[in-house]
């Protein structure tokens, strides 16, 4: 294949690649230790975890689940993506450990926290409830480095969530 033909192929397939990574699936490096030990457990900045981010369930189906490790746009920095765990969804009652009181999550928002509380800026200490429209996708697997390859577990600390809203208009465990 000559250079001209190769360039035409790249130009032809580039929009499809962009559409796929924007709306279906992408790979993202995770920086920092806010999600340790789930992500970057060794604190190795030279070889940070690369994760697979599934986007269909958030962008198209609007199916958010407690315990998901979510990628979202930082509320205070529109060009920065963050990775945190969803602890509570709209209408849930969550324990706000910074204010030492329960907090009801407003409609259209969720509560996110890093697994490593000491190293995480999240809903507790920076953003409060995060708008669901900022959610970009769900981390499903670590794909790099090879020794860390595997599925990312969905769970949340039971002591954080006080009441799940499962009534009419609420999400229960399935939305």
pLDDT tens, residue by residue, 5-26: 877 776 777 777 777 777 779 9
Q: What is the mean pLDDT of residues 137-157?
A: 94
Task: Report pLDDT digits (tens) over 75-129.
Answer: 999 899 999 999 999 999 998 888 889 999 999 999 999 999 999 999 999 999 9
Per CATH, the homologous superfamily of domain 26-163 is: Umud Fragment, subunit A (2.10.109.10)
Q: Where are the domains of the chain?
A: 26-163
For 36-55, write each residue's pLDDT tens digit. 999 999 877 778 999 999 99
Q: What is the pLDDT of residues 62-88, one digit of tens each?
A: 999 999 999 999 999 989 999 999 999
In three state form, how does the secondary structure of the chain look?
A: CCHHHHHHHHHHHHHHHHHHHHHCEEEEECCCCCCCCCCCCCCCCCCCCEEEEECHHHHCCCCCCCCCEEEEEECCEEEEEEEEEEEEECCCEEEECCCCEEEECCCCEEEEECCCHHHCCCHHHHHCCEEHHHEEEEEEEEEECHHHCEECCCCCCCCCEEECCCCCCCCCCCC
Q: What would you report as the CA-atom Rg of the chain, rounded to the nearest whole angstrom?
A: 18
At residue 155, does pLDDT exceed 60? Answer: yes
Please tell me the pTM assigned to this model.
Answer: 0.85
Catalytic residue list: 34, 84
């Amino acid at each position: 294949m000559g250079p001209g033909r190769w360039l035409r192929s790249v130009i032809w397939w580039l929009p499809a690649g962009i559409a796929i990574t924007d709306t279906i699936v992408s790979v993202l490096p995770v920086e920092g230790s806010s999600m340790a030990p789930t992500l970057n457990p060794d604190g190795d900045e030279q070889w940070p975890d690369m994760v697979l981010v599934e986007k269909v369930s958030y962008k198209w189906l609007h199916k958010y689940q407690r315990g998901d490790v979510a990628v979202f746009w930082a509320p205070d920095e529109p060009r920065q993506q963050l990775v945190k765990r969803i602890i509570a969804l709209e209408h849930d009652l969550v324990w706000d450990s910074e204010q030492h009181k329960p907090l009801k999550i407003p409609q259209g928002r969720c509560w996110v926290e890093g697994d490593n509380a000491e190293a995480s800026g999240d809903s507790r200490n920076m953003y409060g409830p995060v708008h669901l429209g900022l959610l970009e996708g769900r981390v499903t697997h670590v794909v790099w480095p090879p020794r860390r390859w595997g599925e990312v577990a969905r769970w949340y600390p039971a002591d954080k969530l006080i009441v799940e809203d499962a009534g009419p208009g609420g999400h229960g465990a399935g939305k």
